[in-house]
Structure 1
Amino acid sequence: MPVFSLDPEQTAWCADLRTLAAEQLRHIAEKGEPGHVNRPLVATLGELGLLERLFGAGALDLCLLRESLAHGCTEAETALALQGLGAYPLVQSGTPEQRERHLPGIIAGRTITAFALSEPDAGSDAAALALDAAPDPDGDGWHLTGTKRWISNAPEADLYTVFARTGEAPGARGITAFLIPADRPGLTGSPLDMLSPHPIGTLTFDAVPVTRDDVLGEPGAGFRVAMNTLNLFRPSVGAFAIGMAQAALDATLAHTAQRHAFGGPLKNLQAVSHQAAEMATRTEAARLLVYAAACAYDTGAPDVPQRSAMAKLFATETAQYVVDTAVQLHGARALQRGHLLEHLYREVRAPRIYEGASEVQRSIIAKELYARAGTEETSR
């Protein structure tokens, strides 16, 4: 499929999603409590078939879902994305028994999931995580002890994908992925009060028992499970950012066309119209970079890590710029609690940090560039 345009069916689907988000999902989202899982919203995503579509989607469909929902209702987009992030390791690495047991509830929106990778001293450097999985001397399993922090949907999720150090090897090679129900003995949590309104918290593991039946994939191969998940979701974080940027741009175009100052509409001022042009150009460039990364993932291209990193980096940085510029052009009204741009201003900051901060994405890109340059030099 061409990466520079969508076919008519995809375009119509995106338009339907934007309408659905604005006219139906937003009303459910507004009834939720900031900082807490909105279970009716997740259940509605299940009833509408969007969660089922999410888990059957390729990277491009995932990006279109996230971009379109974000344009009309960031809370719905985030609820869908967090459900996907928490459950994708199960989809890609779970046993048939694990998938049969858990996926129906996840797809229906009854079972809330979470992706528990970050720790107090292991955020951007995920390979440095220290959650300890000590072998159980009396059985074929482990006991998990330590802390996870900045975990979306914690502590209210029903099912956690947890990454712990089982010690088969140092660094990334000694990490195992586990699927752990929230009611497992020794697992507790507490919420964190964050700038972004979605639920996020800390998990504490006090000798939490896990068995080989809880392992996702193979012992010692959990880092690969995490990175495969992030390679899929990183471009779609960019898609989320694009949806917010487009919403801010649309609001800016409407406002500057209607708002009069200095004898005419703001759009007649070159300083304003040129900023709108810049906002639109950067948003479209980011969109194309995200679509290209998604298509690379779907076709199994060898440069997926680099493209995913580029897409997340550029799209999230662009969205920050576009939303900030939109606030500036709207003036004080955009800072009033409840205004669309006030909401977007709080939402747009976090994506530059989670699932790999912008600095991490630049490191990934540079590593891939120099590796390719070295390979080409050797082949000459």
Structure 2
Amino acid sequence: MPDLLPAEPGTAAGRRPQAAAALAAVPADATASRVWAALGAAGVLHDLYDRGTGQPAAPGPGRLAALLAAVDARGDNGITLSVLVQAASALPLLAACAPEAGPVRAALDETLSGAATLALAATDAAAPGSDLTGLGTEVTIGPDELLLTGGKRWITTACTADRLLVLARHRPGRHFTSFTWVLVPATAPGVHIHPADTGLLTGSATGHVTFDAVRLPADHLVGRPGRGMAAFARHMGTERLAGALWAVALTRRVLADTKERLTRRAIDGQPLWHNDAVRQRYAACLVQVRQLHALCETLGEQVVDRHDLAAAALLKSAAGLVADPVLAACAQLQGADGLARGGAQHIRSEAAVLGIGGGVTELVLAAVADNADALLADLSP
């Protein structure tokens, strides 16, 4: 697998731009595309993957955590979701298959620089999101041309992306070798995109896409035919790690806000923060988030470098099991304030994506159970 970008002579960690600094001058109401452009222009996206010669095309866990924390700090969960999917899934997939020249390489370079955005289009209109091998989007591969038909649902960044990375079937059957990736310009004839009907995560520009006999040059095929599902599985763990990292950043932000509110509100002259029941419930949430953080620290390199899918499933499950109860507790502790526009109750609703996107928590827990023996062995002294 090629590196995402060649090692730069003289690159020093001390001069690498930081995500928080890159976003400091970006207006609070900026779109996901503008946030992505600022990250790219500052070199944050290049540095995210610059791990030295011989490293796989995947982001460094520490830098990925810093990136997601910086974007999450802006308070727009939709924009964070857009950045997460591009950085942890779409770009690594594209990089793993990009040749030295051609439209796939151009898409990679432009997306890394922030000049363009990329939507990962896997969830299919013909099958539930968890049943990727049942997808109905099809690509006919000719000697000089590709013909794409079908549809995709709930695609993050679809409504603003310059290109879509589309998982399609190139031959019948559910075997994992029946699928491949296709790079599709969003403006190509036959591509139709409309916004998803939801009031949540609006900054993510999530939409539904249909492909009506879309014709593309053959060089828009991404990687070798039949390797699409294998490539997706290889990089799925990184997105699951990213989801857990975001869950830590998001719950930390809401916990900090909740504590500040509890110290300001008083009953009989005493701040709510001094109430033992409140403190115990808050502390239990803090313990859960610290546990999730520890899992991310322990398993990050294992997921990214060794493509350990069992570890990735453990992280994905943990994020789903931690985020909702912690955010629910914060919303209740904030009382009526949690019902305010954009408040804790709304944040909790948006964070439901952590238990759905990339695999529903209950289904991922089944994968954890499948690996019970190995996971138990890891606990041995």
TM-score between the two structures when normalised by the length of structure 1: 0.83
Q: Say which is worse superposed, 329-338 or 49-58, in terms of deviation.
A: 49-58
Q: Could you say which residue in structure 2 is the equivalent of 1:165?
A: 169
Show the 5 A alignment for 1:324-363. 324-339=328-343, 341-363=344-366
Letter in 2 for 1:162: V
Q: How far is the alpha carbon of 1:237 from its aligned partner? A: 0.8
CA contact (8 A) 1:160 1:180 kept: yes
> Are the structure 2 counterparts of residues 18 and 242 from structure 1 closer, same or farther at C-alpha, using a change threshold of 3 Å?
farther
For residue 94 of structure 2, what is the aligned residue in structure 1?
Answer: 90
1:76-126 CA deviation, whole Å, 9 max, x = no partner?
A: 533422332332211112212145422232122221100000013230111
The partner residue of 2:322 within 313, 318, 321 is: 318
> Once superposed, which parts of structure 1, at least 4 consecutive aligned residues long, lie more than 4 Å away?
16-21
8 Å CA contact 1:190, 1:203 repeated in 2 = yes
The letter of the residue matching 2:46 is E
Q: Which aligned pairs between 1:245-256 and structure 2 lie closer than 5 A?
A: 245-256=251-262
**Superposed counterparts of 1:1-380, under 5 Å:** 17=19, 24-25=25-26, 28-32=27-31, 38-56=32-50, 57-75=59-77, 76-84=79-87, 85-98=89-102, 100-120=105-125, 121-136=127-142, 139-167=143-171, 170-194=174-198, 195-197=200-202, 198-300=204-306, 304-339=308-343, 341-369=344-372, 372=374
What's the CA shift for 1:276? 1.1
* TM-score (norm. length: structure 2): 0.83
Structure 2 gaps of 5+ residues are: 1-12, 51-58
Q: Check conservation: 2:22, 2:38, Cα contact below 8 A.
A: no
2:8 alignment counterpart: none
Q: 1:225 to 1:328 in 2, by over 3 A?
A: same
Contact 2:19–2:39 under 8 Å retained in 1 = no
Show CA shifts across 1:310-332 (max 9, x none): 11221233121111111111111
8 Å Cα contact 1:89-1:225 kept in structure 2: yes
Q: Give the aligned residue type for 1:153.
A: T
State how far apart, in whole Å, the 2-side matches of 1:114 and 1:235 are: 19
8 Å contact 1:19–1:72 — kept in the other structure?
Answer: no
When residues 161 and 242 of structure 1 are mapped into structure 2, their CA distance, relative to the original with a 3 A threshold, is: same
Q: CA deviation at 1:168?
A: 6.9
CA distance in 1, matches of 2:370, 2:241: 18
Contact 1:64 1:239 survives alignment (8 Å): no
Contact 1:163/1:177, CA 8 A, preserved across alignment: yes
Counterparts of 2:317 and 2:69, CA distance in 1: 16
The 2-side partners of 1:291 and 1:210 are apart by: 43
Gaps of 5+ in 1: 1-9, 33-37, 376-380
CA distance in 2, matches of 1:362, 1:29: 37
Greater alpha carbon shift after TM alignment, 126-135 vs 282-291: 126-135
More helix by share: 1
Change (3 A) 1:217 1:346: same
Residue type matched to 2:270 in 1? G
Q: What is the rounded CA distance, in whole Å, between the counterparts of 1:18 and 1:41 in structure 2? A: 11
2-structure distance, mates of 1:267, 1:170:
55
For residue 154 of structure 1, give the secondary structure of its aligned residue in structure 2.
Answer: coil
Distance 1:354 1:313 in 2: 12
Query: Do 1:63 and 1:235's aligned partners in 2 also have CA atoms closer than 8 Å?
Result: no
Q: Secondary structure at the match of 1:205?
A: strand
Aligned length: 349
| Deviation readout 1:16-68 (Å, 9 max, x if unpaired) | 756776x544xx24244xxxxx4322221222322222343323421332134
Say if 1:19 and 1:283 are closer, same or farther in 2 by CA, change over 3 A: farther
Supply the distance in 2 between the matched residues of 1:24 and 1:286 (Cα, whole angstroms).
Answer: 31
Q: Evaluate the alpha carbon distance shift between residue 20 and residue 219 of structure 1 in structure 2; reply closer, same or farther with a 3 A threshold.
A: closer
